[in-house]
Each structure stands twice: as C-alpha cells, then as structure tokens.
C-alpha cells in the first residue's frame, strides 16, 4: 500500500497544546514520525536578558502553566548557585512541600488529560476535582491558583498561613483515598489496559541515549531521580523511594506517575512534621559578577529541568539557558511511535505528559 | 552515613577529572572538580574524542543540555555542554570556545541522541554549525528565517 504523511496537529485533540506530529503511515501502521514544534516560541531566553533578576521569577512561572512552582523554584535555585546564597532551613522545608504539592497537581492534570485521550470522562473529572483541593492549598499559601510567583532568590516570599499543617494533612488524607479510586478506574478497566499496555516501547538504553528523563525514564526501568541522586532542598533529609517500572511501555509510565503521587504525599507529611520556626528568606545580592556562571537541575514533574545562567555585572543575566524535559522527550517520540498503529498515538503521547509552554519557551 | 548522591562503586568527580586530565593533557583544562561536579574547558578539536572517551569509559550516559553563548565584545562564541553520568552521579560542564566569525564545532549527536534537538536549537538561535549533525534545520523559528535571534547583535523588538 502507498505510504503517506499525515499531520496530527497543530489543532488536534491528541496534542495537548500547540504542536504538530507528522507521521508516515503504511495502512494503519506508522513507519516514520516527526514532531514539529515552535508554535508557542516566545523567545523567553532572549527576553530575560532585558529583565532584572526579580522580574524573571514570574516569567519563569509561565514556562509551564501546569507546574509553574517547579520552574520559578528552579530559576531561584540557579540564581542562588550563581550568587552563592544559602537558603534558611525553614524556606527549604516549605519549598520541598510546595514542590511536591505541585508535582501532585501536575500529575493530576496529566491523568485528567490522559482520561479524555482514552475516552474515559470519569478519569478526567475525578483528578480535576481533587486537583482543585491542591490549588486551594496553594491559593491559601500565596494567593494564586496557577502561576504562583512564590519562591524568591534566597528563600520564599511569605511564611505559611495559619492552619497550613492541618489543611495539608486533611487534603492528603482525602487524596490518598481518592488515588485508590483512580487506580480502580484505570487499572481494573480492560479498555484502559488494552490501550496502554505493550504500546510505546522505549528500551532503557534508548531512553538514556535519547535524553528522556523523569517519570518517562523511570518507566523504562532506569533508577535515576535528581531528587535522590543530586539532592537539593530537603530531599536528602526525608525517607522516600524512587518509583521505577520495568516494562518500558505506556502503562509503565502511567504507573510511575501514579506511584509518584503517593510518594509525594509521603514526602509532604514528613516535611510538615519536621518543619521548625525560623527565617524564611535572606537578602540576596542585587547584582551578579560579569562572566560568572551558575547552573542547577531539578526533578520537574515531567523530567529533568535545568537552567544555566551567566552574570553580566549588573542586575540582569547575560544569558539564561533553559533545558526543558519535554523538549528532549518529544524528540524521542519517533522511537516510541514507529511500528505501532495510528490509533495508539493518543495513548503513547498521552503517557508522556506533554507541556508546550516549556518545550517552545 | 554514606554520602548521599554517590552510587556504590561510583567514581567521584575528582577521580574522573584526574582520569580525563591524564588522557587529554594538552587540550582539556579541568577548572574545578567536586564530588559530583566537573568543570572543564575543552579545545574544539578534542571535543568528540573526549566525549567518546567519557561515554565509553567513564559511564556518561546522558546529555543534560547543550547551549550557546554569544560573547560579542570578546569576538567569540561558546558552546556549553552539560553531560551527566547516571552510574557515577556526576555532572560535567564542558565549555568550548569558537571564533565568532566561523562558529563551527563537531556534533555529539552521533554519540548521544539526546543532543540532537539541543544542537539544532543552538544552530537555530546562534548560527553555530554542528558538523555531522543529521538534520541541522530550523526548529523553533519558522523555516526560512534568515536571522539568528539570540546573537547579541540582533536587536530585539526589530521587525525581521
């Protein structure tokens, strides 16, 4: 049969954002695939060269609207590395808590999107309902629901509100029960498993070589997590495990993210217990020396987020480079897609958790 | 308590730095090495041999990032590589200086597929040519763009 190229996107229900997946099909089987991105390119890195250091924090929020806390935190961590600022202990605990809450929120949004991809409207509605609770917690903390502008270079903006521990504990208790519901909805659904199992195979060697990171890498059986292996904030102080699955398919990537949500609850509980009163912020220098460099990498909900900054002698960066985890993961999409049927695309790309804000920057 | 972040049997950044310095005495300058970080300045001729050596002998499996820097006053361009070893839990920063009027460096995509889009983006934004790259085409900018917008002499806000 004659092969032909198909465009899935930029406007397509599978894409979750604005990108284009070009696939070459032979009948229904994909023989080649090529992701096309850039529709959301804003020149983020260039814009930052004309902004003061503090002005970049809310911009970093906009890198990924689903996980904005982890991006503004990564920016602050990078600047602290550049300016050699030591963050007070309480700020580190608070940051760890909000990062894990953000991870749960981001994973819930991914699960909801995966639900619509696979035609299960309940799997869309339930996670979105529980995500609202985490957004409420964040709103109590910093006044915003999605783009928080909460971390600061040298700490966090404000201390936790009254009843912070109580509210978090209540939400986590409720959420852990609901998590069992989602697993029942997905793992015990024949349709869900038929569509997720044995598609999108990505071997451990390929995943490492192609730069796939985060839950998608651990779904391929590679035991690496920046939080444990290059610890930042308080991740080396709490007791938690890295979730790894060995089957390398879309279902494994789904399982890793579900287990991670449980682990995040575990981390938050420990942090709340061990948090002590103290300072939440130190005053950082206003300028960075010319030519001095700093970098940091963190475990974003989607993979390894990385920033590299060069000082310019004044209060603006000379260059700020961002590594987005999904930018690299989507470049490995052909490896996951080729050989499968075109109807498997939503399941495979849905398991990856696309976010175009950070991909195109 | 054992040091967190270090795999059993893994090598520290200092050990890896010594290994690299012995293997490439002239062309690679180690600027700093700690237990999980490694900083080096690399001559562009030594980049691919060094990367092959790091990949095959020192277990560097993962390219974290490849990015360009335009030093307009110094008349040079830089490519900054961050390469991570999962086995040793060390991240290496390699800096390669290139002349600004002819920014060309060998591609490391044949070694690590993860560098593919990073190098493509760096070409797209800075015009740094990666020799041997499989597909050096526009990635974030539309096809047919004739400027390199992240260069310092590109005036932001102008109509292209």
Which among B82, B91, B140 is the nearest to A37, CB-wise? Answer: B140
Angstroms from A34 CA to nearest CA on chain B: 12
Domain count, chain A: 1
Cα–Cα dist B97/B43, whole Å: 7
Does residue A345 sit within a domain? Answer: yes
Query: Which chain A residue shows the shortest CA-CA distance from B36?
Result: A230
Q: Identify the pLDDT of residue B1.
A: 35
DSSP string, A37-96: --TT---HHHHHTTS-HHHHHHHHHTT-SSSHHHHHHHHHHHHHHHHTPPPPHHHHHHHH
Q: How many helices (H) and strands (E) does chain A have?
A: 15, 8
Does residue A83 sit within a domain? Answer: yes
- Interval A259-304: pLDDT, tens: 999 999 999 999 999 988 989 999 999 898 988 999 999 999 999 9
Q: What is the pTM of this model?
A: 0.90
**Which structural domain, as residue segments, surrounds residue A305?**
53-355
Contact assignment for A45 to B150 by CB distance below 8 Å: yes
Angstroms from B28 CA to nearest CA on chain A: 19
Does residue A73 sit within a domain? Answer: yes
The burial of A180, by beta-carbon neighbours within 10 Å (0-12 exposed, 13-18 middle, 19 or more buried), is given as: exposed
What residues contact residue A191 under an 8 Å CB cut-off, 6+ apart? A118, A119, A120
Residue A65, pLDDT above cutoff 90: no
Does residue A254 sit within a domain? Answer: yes
Contact assignment for A321 to B80 by CB distance below 8 Å: yes
Q: Identify the pLDDT of residue B98.
A: 92
| ipTM score of complex | 0.86
Angstroms from B25 CA to nearest CA on chain A: 25
Domain boundaries, chain B: 13-131
> Which residues of A fall within a CB distance of 8 Å from B32?
none
Query: Three-class SS of residue A181?
Result: helix
- Spans of chain B, pLDDT less than 50: 1-8
Q: What is the CATH number of domain B13-131?
A: 3.30.460.80
Does residue A277 sit within a domain? Answer: yes
More confident position, A14 or A242: A242
The total number of residues shown for chain B amounts to: 160
Does residue A18 sit within a domain? Answer: no
Does residue A334 sit within a domain? Answer: yes
Contact assignment for B156 to A331 by CB distance below 8 Å: no
Which among A211, A308, A332 is the nearest to B63, CB-wise? Answer: A211
Task: Please report, for the domain that includes residue A307, its CATH number.
Answer: 1.10.645.10
Cα–Cα dist A48/A45, whole Å: 5
Contact assignment for A211 to B140 by CB distance below 8 Å: no
């Amino acid at each position: 049969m004659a092969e032909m190229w198909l465009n899935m996107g930029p406007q397509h229900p599978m894409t979750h954002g604005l990108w284009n997946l070009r696939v070459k099909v032979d009948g229904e089987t994909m023989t080649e695939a090529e992701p096309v991105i850039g529709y959301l390119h804003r020149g983020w890195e260039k814009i930052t060269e004309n902004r003061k250091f503090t002005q970049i924090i809310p911009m970093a929020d906009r890198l990924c609207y689903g996980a904005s806390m982890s991006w503004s935190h990564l920016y602050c961590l990078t600047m602290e590395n550049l300016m050699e600022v030591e963050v007070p202990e309480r700020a580190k605990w608070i940051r760890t808590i909000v990062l894990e809450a953000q991870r749960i929120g981001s994973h819930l949004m991914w699960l909801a999107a995966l639900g619509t991809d696979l035609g299960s409207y309940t799997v869309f509605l339930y996670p979105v309902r529980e995500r609202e609770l985490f957004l409420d917690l964040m709103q109590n903390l910093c006044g915003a629901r999605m783009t928080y502008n909460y971390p600061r270079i040298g700490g966090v903006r404000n201390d936790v509100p009254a009843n912070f521990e109580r509210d978090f504990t209540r939400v986590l208790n409720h959420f852990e029960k609901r998590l069992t519901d989602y697993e029942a909805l997905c793992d015990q659904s024949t349709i869900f498993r038929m569509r997720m199992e044995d598609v999108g195979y990505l071997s451990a060697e390929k995943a490492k070589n192609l730069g796939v990171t985060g839950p998608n890498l651990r779904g391929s059986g590679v035991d690496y997590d920046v939080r444990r292996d290059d610890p930042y904030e308080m991740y080396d102080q709490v007791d938690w495990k890295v979730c790894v699955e060995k089957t390398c398919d879309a279902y494994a990537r789904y399982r890793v993210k579900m287990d991670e949500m449980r682990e995040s609850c575990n981390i938050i509980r420990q942090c709340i217990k061990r948090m002590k009163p103290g300072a939440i912020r130190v005053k950082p220098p206003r300028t960075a020396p010319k030519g001095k460099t700093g970098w940091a990498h963190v475990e974003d909900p989607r993979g390894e987020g990385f920033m590299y900054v060069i000082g310019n002698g004044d209060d603006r960066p000379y260059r700020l480079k961002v590594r987005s985890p999904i930018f690299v993961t989507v470049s490995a999409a052909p490896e996951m897609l080729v050989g499968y049927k075109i109807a498997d695309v939503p399941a495979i790309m849905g398991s990856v958790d696309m976010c175009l804000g950070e991909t195109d920057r | 308590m054992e040091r967190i972040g270090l795999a059993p049997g893994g090598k520290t950044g200092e050990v890896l730095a010594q290994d690299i310095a012995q293997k490439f005495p002239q062309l690679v300058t180690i600027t700093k090495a700690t237990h999980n970080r490694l900083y080096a300045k690399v001559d562009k001729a030594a980049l691919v041999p060094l990367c092959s050596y790091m990949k095959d002998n020192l277990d560097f499996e993962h390219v974290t990032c490849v990015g360009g820097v335009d030093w307009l006053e110094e008349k040079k361009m830089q490519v900054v590589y961050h390469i991570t070893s999962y086995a040793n839990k060390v991240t290496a920063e390699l800096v390669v200086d290139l002349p600004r009027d002819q920014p060309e460096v060998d591609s490391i995509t044949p070694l690590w597929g993860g560098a593919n889009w990073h190098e493509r983006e760096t070409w797209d934004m800075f015009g740094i040519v990666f020799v041997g790259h499989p597909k050096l085409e526009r990635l974030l900018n539309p096809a047919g763009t004739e400027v390199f917008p992240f260069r310092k002499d590109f005036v932001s806000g102008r109509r292209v």
